[in-house]
Copies of this chain bind each other. A is one copy, B any other.
Amino acid sequence: MVKIGILGYGNLGRGVEAAIKKNDDMELVAVYTRRDPASLTIKTEGVAVKSTADLDTGKEDIDVLIICGGSATDLPEMTPKYAAMYNVIDSFDTHAKVPVHFANVDEASKKAGKVGIISCGWDPGMFSINRVYAHAVLPDGKDYTFWGKGVSQGHSDAVRRIEGVLDARQYTVPVPAALDAVRNGENPELSTRQKHTRECFVVAEEGADLARIENEIKTMPNYFADYDTTVNFISAEEMKAEHSGLPHGGSVIYSGESSDGTKHVIEYSLKLDSNPEFTGSVLAAYARAAARLNSEGVSGAKTVFDIAPAYLCAQSGEELRAHLL
């Protein structure tokens, strides 16, 4: 059994908890929280909720710690810290800061003789793997990543911060014409605006200036200004009934040539009912890999690029070759 600890019990932590239940060779040992452990009730019966103070002793009996924190401030601090004590894994997704994060985790985990896997999920994660395989097989080509249709939590949060907004949900939607052109192997040059549109559902305070809110959303730098955005004002009831899930997905499409004029299109796509549950499922599979690699004497920081597919599976090499090759 792979003994798992989960650090943080938000959407992602609960997604990992669900994933562990689907893996017969994994056992959830404890959920660790910075809050008062007594304030937290988890879904898995008989499993302890503990304080991060327990974790900080470095003596918890876990094979892998799955760190479910935010990339902005939590993970840059937490992952190297706990990599010095445990095999760890996170879903760090601030692309520009990956080199620093990787180096920090690498140093800590190597010193400790542990494995630290960073940036695990679907993007970065499964999408990254597919970009790499495609580039490796067809070096003369181009990759495109489309996200959605799905809920962007960062963009939803940004809308919620606008004055007069009670609640908001933002969907990222790929532009069908762009998808078609890429799937046809046309290798188009696409601007940000040509690739995705943004669709907002907003619950406003009674009497709020809706035109101002709509304008503030549509002109918000970085988040919306470069996109065609639609804003729909709805009731709190409709928000709850129609937009309470966190579906997501998208496609990595690669178009390349093996010789002049001989084209190939590779597409990897995901349709996810729940972004955090799928991300949690990827983390669980890589937690198995972390435990196995470390038991073979491997240490240091790794990404999905560094780990052979067989390490993610409970089955033996013989079983995989017999049933899935």
> Which residues of A are in contact with B by a Cβ distance under 8 Å?
15, 18-19, 21-24, 95, 98-99, 102, 119, 124, 126, 128-133, 135-140, 143, 183, 185, 257-259, 262-274, 277-278, 280-282, 285, 288, 303-310, 312-314, 317-318, 320-322, 324-325
Contacts and interface: CB of A to CB of B under 8 A. Distances in A.
A308 B21 CA distance: 27
Contact of A270 (B266, B285, B310): B266
Given A129-B309, A258-B274, A265-B270, A324 B135 contact: yes
A140, A143, A310 pick with most chain B CB within 10 angstroms: A310
Nearest to A143: B324
B136 A285 contact: yes
B270 A133 contact: no
Contact of A259 (B18, B264, B270): B18
Nearest to A43: B259
A251 to B, nearest CB: 9
Nearest to A17: B259
Given A259-B274, A265-B271, A305-B325, 5 more contacts: A119-B325, A129-B133, A264-B277, A266-B268, A267-B267
A258 B280 contact: yes
A304 B135 CA distance: 16
B137 A285 contact: yes
A22, A264, A310, A314 pick with most chain B CB within 10 angstroms: A264
A303 B321 contact: yes
A272 to B, nearest CB: 5
Contacts of A124: 325
Nearest to A183: B271
Nearest to A318: B99
Contacts of A185: 271
Contact of A137 (B18, B136, B282): B282
26 contacts: A15-B258, A18-B262, A19-B258, A21-B259, A22-B139, A22-B257, A22-B259, A98-B321, A102-B321, A126-B133, A126-B137, A128-B324, A132-B309, A132-B310, A132-B312, A135-B324, A136-B288, A136-B312, A258-B273, A263-B273, A264-B277, A303-B321, A304-B309, A305-B317, A305-B320, A305-B321
A264 B285 contact: no
A257 B15 CA distance: 12
A18 to B, nearest CB: 4
Contacts of A270: 264-267
A140 B130 CA distance: 22
